Amino acid sequence: MTKRNYDAIPVEPAFVHKLFNTTKFAWLWAVLRIYLGYEWLMAGWHKATGTGWVDGGSALKGFWTNVIKVPTTGKAAITYDWYRSFLEFLLGHNTYTWFGKLIAYGEVLIGICLIVGLLTGFAAFGGALMNFNFMLAGSASTNPVLFFIAVLLIMAWKAAGYLGADRFVLPAIGTPWRAATAEGPDRDRKEA
């Protein structure tokens, strides 16, 4: 019986490989990355330069207070009781005083990293985590769309920052693929 070399067998369809692992669609990822980064930067900038977030967290306290309410009629904003209990715990311990700063500056940092393409996968994960929490708190708004874009960027982490700082940073810090060349991070892989 012969031993198979599973590393040589593509584990995904060719178009999926091209979309997420090659630089052929780096332009698409750059557009999505910059759009998402702009949205995060603007959201964070309004919080960081406005009132109620970095100056004591009163806006965050108000948001949490409103979403944990269970109305006598109708539907509560929060579907899951465990998440309501989590927010009640945070409110009870006055964490909004520092959590507001964390959210505001975190959104700005995520926005900047996505715009310049620096550690794109991690930045997209941070954004997705915030979108996920906003959705758990019952705030739909643009969160589902931003969450979906973030998930796509996480899946395309190897190529999503190629037209950005990741092209130079990721090979320098070490990644699962060798240093990027003109052909991109997947230069050793044969195209189907």
At 23-46, the pLDDT tens digits run 899 999 999 999 999 999 999 999
- Residue 175: pLDDT above 80? no
pTM of the full structure? 0.84
At 143, list the tokens: 């969160």
pLDDT of 6 above 60? no
> Each residue of 142-155: pLDDT tens digit?
999 999 999 999 99
The residue-averaged pLDDT of 91-97 equals 96
**Three-state SS sequence of 58-113:** HHHHHHHHHHCCCCCCCCCCCCCHHHHHHHHHHHHCCCHHHHHHHHHHHHHHHHHH
Task: Give pLDDT, residue 192.
Answer: 44
3-state secondary structure string across 115-162: HHCCCHHHHHHHHHHHHHHHHHCCCCCCHHHHHHHHHHHHHCHHHHCC
Label residue 180 by pLDDT band (50, 70, 90): very low
Whether the per-residue pLDDT at 1 is higher than 60: the answer is: no
| Mean pLDDT across the chain | 88
Integer Cα distance of 171 and 150 in angstroms: 22
Q: How far is CA 102 from CA 60, 99, 126, 162, 190, in A?
A: 11, 5, 12, 28, 44
Contact 16, 156 (CB under 8 A): no
Q: For position 172, what pLDDT does the model report?
A: 87
Q: pLDDT at position 9, please?
A: 60
Local structure of residue 175 (DSSP, 8 states): -
Mean pLDDT of 119-126: 97
Gap between the Cα atoms of 87 and 151, Å rounded: 25
pLDDT band at 22 (very low <50, low <70, confident <90, very high): confident
The pLDDT assigned to 32 comes to 98
CA distances (Å), origin 124, targets 34, 84, 110, 111: 11, 25, 7, 9
Task: Check pLDDT > 90 for residue 189.
Answer: no
- Confidence class for position 173, pLDDT limits 50, 70, 90: confident
| CA 170/CA 156 separation, integer angstroms | 14
Does the pLDDT of residue 191 top 50, yes or no?
no
